[in-house]
Structure 1
Amino acid sequence: MSEASTPIAAVMLAPGETSRLPVLFDHWLWATQLPGRYLPLTVEPQDIGDVISALPKAGFVGLHISAAYQKAVLDHADIITDRAALMSGANTLIFRRDGKIHADNTDGYGFIENIRLSVPGWDARLGPAAIFGAGRAARVVISALIEVGVGQIRLTSRTRPKAEQLRSEFGTRIEVVDWLKAGNMAEGAATVVNATPLGTRGNSDFRVPLDGLTPGAVACDLTVDPPATRFLQQAAAYGCHVADGVGMLICQASPSFERWFGQRPPNDEDARIAAAS
């Protein structure tokens, strides 16, 4: 394949943002020996539309979108999947050969696939789910769990109105719990998720008591920095299976690599090392 026809993809970042995706994609391209390039692109907010319009003409096949711009890029897409519409944002743009821009969101897929790979035999229908947080990440988790059949979701947030808003959108399957009583949520839950920034490097620790966790339950943390958060360490100490944010990052990125470069990439320890670096 000539240099001119080599597929090029990128991640669009707001000023000051960083991403682990370029290192992961560089590793995958090396591991698969496929032709291709993957670049980080820092873009000012006012330039989003111009950049998205220009990239297909420059040979780009697709674009990942950082959290800051996931809602804004919907205004520049010709086709928006139901998943992206439900999330009110796209993390992936596909530049189709017919010239149309296809917006998708693979975060929910990545969340579920990571649990299934980390905990074979996991079934969302085995019991209630408990989710800490009510931001965009929690929306992803709620939507994904409902899609795979969870019966009840206990939801708490330091900002209760945000949790109430999600309940109004997703229905009575969600029970909102006051943050002061968050320590009770894990009792009897089959799936427990930290969708807050607590425990992420540079933020406060996650300090909600987890002594109500059921041994054998699944505990997930969406942060990638650090991969082994205090939340996950505590959950493991109580006998829970754990699924970390690095695994989710790999699983949500894998479908894009396959679309853009033509082959499913390996999800192995080398990929984890690259995604965590």
Structure 2
Amino acid sequence: MTQYAEVIGDPIRQSKSPVIHGFWIEKLGLDAEYRAALVPEGGLGEYLASRRGDNDWCGCNVTMPHKQAIIPLLDRLEPLAKRIGAVNTVVKAPDGKLVGRNTDVAGFLEPLAERLREQHYFRMGRVLGTGGAARAIVAGLVKEGFTLVLAGRNPDKARALLEELAPGGEHHAAPLDHFASATDYDFDDREGCCDLVVNASPLGMRGQQPLTFHWSHAPPGSIAYDIVTDPVDTAFLKSARAAGFETIDGLAMLIGQAAAAFTHFFGVAPPRGDDGELRERLLA
């Protein structure tokens, strides 16, 4: 019998997860597979019912639009997924129960790890988006001591998300279009600070509306981080580099969260020393 895991979502054709997991399976010589399954809205119950009885299925990654909708259909949640209110990985436990996990936090923070080991006077993140991925990013950044400005098309939703995941902090909610036009705001000295601007929304993804962000809203020395993976080099990142900012693309988070999920699925850590080769394959 060949064990397998898969990624589910709608749409799913654009997912790079099969390439990532397939690369690691190949490198490790595992008798395993990783697939993609189109699961439309309303089809989650039927999908999970079919997989519960499949002894070869060890779990799935969950992408749009299911990260929150899948929660009531699972048997239990790990504490982090429960706190975030979003699941991106489902693992079949030895007792057959379906356990919801969230590896987005670990994946998002991984490329920032070296920076976050430094001491900072102040850490601030401007996070654009209020969906399932944004929930994980907010939780991760708050855990790392960031003060946040969370922007969404519905500022009330952004405010409610902050009150839920980061109560008591000096965080702020803002309308997304606040960042679309130039500002003459004079930032104070940012030496010893850590500033992030994160696109945690699908805006800028192929087939989606563009994301408009004017880089006069970013403090000097900010890092621009876009979780979109199709295209990898988004207009958001290109404009950030043109304005002189360091950038992190969505493959960094995608590979990081996939590594944690791979270990849950197959019981072995992936070979991370081959990340350069993996990126070449993803970009081919």
Alignment TM-score, normalising by the size of structure 1: 0.85
In 2, are the aligned partners of 1:186 and 1:210 still within 8 Å (CA)? no
Provide the residue aligned with 1:64 in structure 2. Answer: 61
* Structure 2 counterpart of 1:99, one-letter code: G
In 2, are the aligned partners of 1:213 and 1:238 still within 8 Å (CA)? no
Worse-matched range after superposition: 106-115 or 80-89:
80-89
Find the partner of 2:33 among 37, 46, 52: 37
In 2, are the aligned partners of 1:125 and 1:149 still within 8 Å (CA)? no
Kindly indicate whether residue 156 of structure 2 is the aligned counterpart of residue 149 of structure 1.
Answer: no
- Displacement of 1:252 in angstroms is 0.6
Number of residue pairs matched? Answer: 270
Unaligned runs of 5+ in 2: none
Aligned-partner SS, 1:247 = helix
Kindly indicate whether residue 219 of structure 2 is the aligned counterpart of residue 222 of structure 1.
Answer: no
Provide the residue aligned with 2:267 in structure 1. Answer: 262
In 2, are the aligned partners of 1:186 and 1:192 still within 8 Å (CA)? no
Kindly indicate whether residue 232 of structure 2 is the aligned counterpart of residue 236 of structure 1.
Answer: no
Aligned-partner SS, 2:70 = helix
RMSD of the TM alignment (CA)? 2.6
Kindly indicate whether residue 100 of structure 2 is the aligned counterpart of residue 103 of structure 1.
Answer: yes
Instruction: Determine which structure has the larger helix proportion and give its number.
Output: 1
* Structure 1 counterpart of 2:268, one-letter code: Q
Provide the residue aligned with 2:47 in structure 1. Answer: 51
CA distance in 2, matches of 1:106, 1:80: 12
Provide the residue aligned with 2:109 in structure 1. Answer: 112
- Displacement of 1:163 in angstroms is 1.9
Alignment TM-score, normalising by the size of structure 2: 0.83
Find the partner of 1:272 among 276, 279, 282: 279
CA distance in 2, matches of 1:145, 1:108: 9
- Displacement of 1:248 in angstroms is 0.5
Q: Residues 87-124 of structure 1, C-alpha deviation per residue, up to 9 Å, x if partnerless? A: 3221111111122211101111111113226x575668
Q: Residues 202-239 of structure 1, C-alpha deviation per residue, up to 9 Å, x if partnerless? A: 33433321035344322211101111122222323344
Find the partner of 1:87 among 67, 84, 87: 84
Aligned-partner SS, 1:72 = coil
* Cα distance change of structure 1 residues 48 and 206 upon mapping to structure 2, 3 Å threshold: closer
* Cα distance change of structure 1 residues 186 and 199 upon mapping to structure 2, 3 Å threshold: farther
Aligned-partner SS, 1:127 = strand
Q: Residues 56-109 of structure 1, C-alpha deviation per residue, up to 9 Å, x if partnerless? A: 432111111222222232223222012222332211111111222111011111
